[in-house]
Amino acid sequence: MPVIVTGGTGFVASNVVKVLAEQGREVISIDIAPPDELLLAYTESVRGMITWAQADILNMSSIEEAASGKSIEGIIHAAVYTVVLEDLEKSDSKRIFDINLTGTVNMLELARKVGVKRFVYVSSGGVYGETPPEIPLMEDMQLDPTSLYSVTKYASELLTRRYAQLHGFEGASGRLSGPYGPMERQTGHRAVMSMMYDWTGKAIRGEPIKIEPRRSSGDMTYALDLAAGLIALLDAPKLNHSFYNVSRGIMVTQNEIVEAFRSAVPGIEFLQPTSEDGVGIGSGRGPADNTRLREDTGFNAEYDPAGGIRAYIEWRRRYDFTS
């Protein structure tokens, strides 16, 4: 029985597709974009397990066609319009709403029609809003999403919970925290890259890295760990909650990241911020506590910052991804 993964040509979801296929499971990737050469190379070893269905989640008939004739095991819904810049948020407000909310409703309706056992919505730590970095993020704390992206993420979590209650399947949302790793790249629905994308690119190009002042998640989670966590939510015999942090769950300091890069790329040069630059990385939200996920699924993150950064740089070199 295949698993549907929406947004399967994107960043985290492409890793979900790959891990599922490596487990010997049939995967149907639903995405408006076809897989590019990098993704096809990344999944070459398991290509026989993957169907790349080019379909628009805003078009109900197209996603029904992608699932036609199949007995679907479950759905991991990751397709999203990721917007972090206010200018883009202003200019593309309705499109953000359409993709992130209407698209979720369409996938929930598909889940109802095909009779899946479980639907996993891929959410974000952004639903917590801005919180003091010393306070761990807990799933039952009060949320304060502020951007259209984070607001639509939280609304989709609630839609997933209620739709599942009404229509007799299980629903869970996984809030990703600090994602970095393979397959992050610019697409039509992801225009602003993460700090780790920028730093690893400079590292393999031999360029100095300037520590820019920025707000960021308090923890970092490698993409393959995120994929494993989402699949754990799909497969767990029983889930006791509707919302889960999918994260490593451990605060990462600026010094740890810098030392991990120095270990992975000896001789790398870091340019420290000046007093005018303000605070460096690690000044945003606190770490996302993953106790729920560990207790309900047995999940444990495999990659610490040093291992994750090393693996990410090795992946970039292997696939000659230097941009």
Domains present along the chain, CATH in parentheses: 3-185+220-250+286-305 (3.40.50.720)
**Lowest mean pLDDT, pick from 162-176, 188-202, 238-252, 273-287:** 273-287
How much of the chain, in percent, has pLDDT values that exceed 90? 80
Instruction: Give the confidence band of 279 by pLDDT, cuts at 50, 70, 90.
Output: very low
Instruction: Give the confidence band of 276 by pLDDT, cuts at 50, 70, 90.
Output: very low
Three-state DSSP class for residue 64: helix
What is the rounded CA–CA span in Å between residue 296 and residue 217? 24
Place of tokens 């889930």: 239
Mean pLDDT of all residues in the chain? 92
DSSP label at residue 230? H
Mean pLDDT value across residues 48-57: 97
Q: What are phi and psi of 179, to 5 degrees?
A: -70, 140
Half-sphere exposure of 58 (CA within 13 A, CB side): 12
What is the rounded CA–CA span in Å between residue 238 and residue 155? 24
Inter-residue contact 124 to 230 (CB < 8 Å): no
pLDDT score, position 215 = 54
C-beta neighbour count of 275 within 10 angstroms = 5
Does 317 score more than 90 pLDDT? yes
* Cβ-based burial of 70 (10 A; exposed 0-12, middle 13-18, buried ≥19): middle
**Helix runs in the chain, H state only:** 11-22, 37-42, 60-67, 86-91, 93-97, 103-114, 148-167, 195-205, 223-235, 254-264, 291-297, 305-318
Rg of the chain over Cα atoms, rounded to whole angstroms, equals: 19
pTM, rounded to two decimals: 0.94
pLDDT score, position 281 = 47
Mean pLDDT value across residues 237-266: 92
pLDDT score, position 275 = 45
Instruction: Give the confidence band of 255 by pLDDT, cuts at 50, 70, 90.
Output: confident
What is the rounded CA–CA span in Å between residue 130 and residue 232? 28
Residues in the chain: 323
pLDDT score, position 130 = 86
Single-letter code of the amino acid located at 133: P
Residue (of 143, 87, 131) closest to 285 by Cα position: 131
Q: What is the pLDDT of residues 143-160, one digit of tens each?
A: 999 999 999 999 999 999
Kindly list the distances between the CA atom of residue 248 and the CA atoms of 91, 104, 156, 217, 228, in Å, as whole numbers in the listed order.
34, 26, 23, 12, 11
In Å, the largest CA–CA distance within the chain is 62
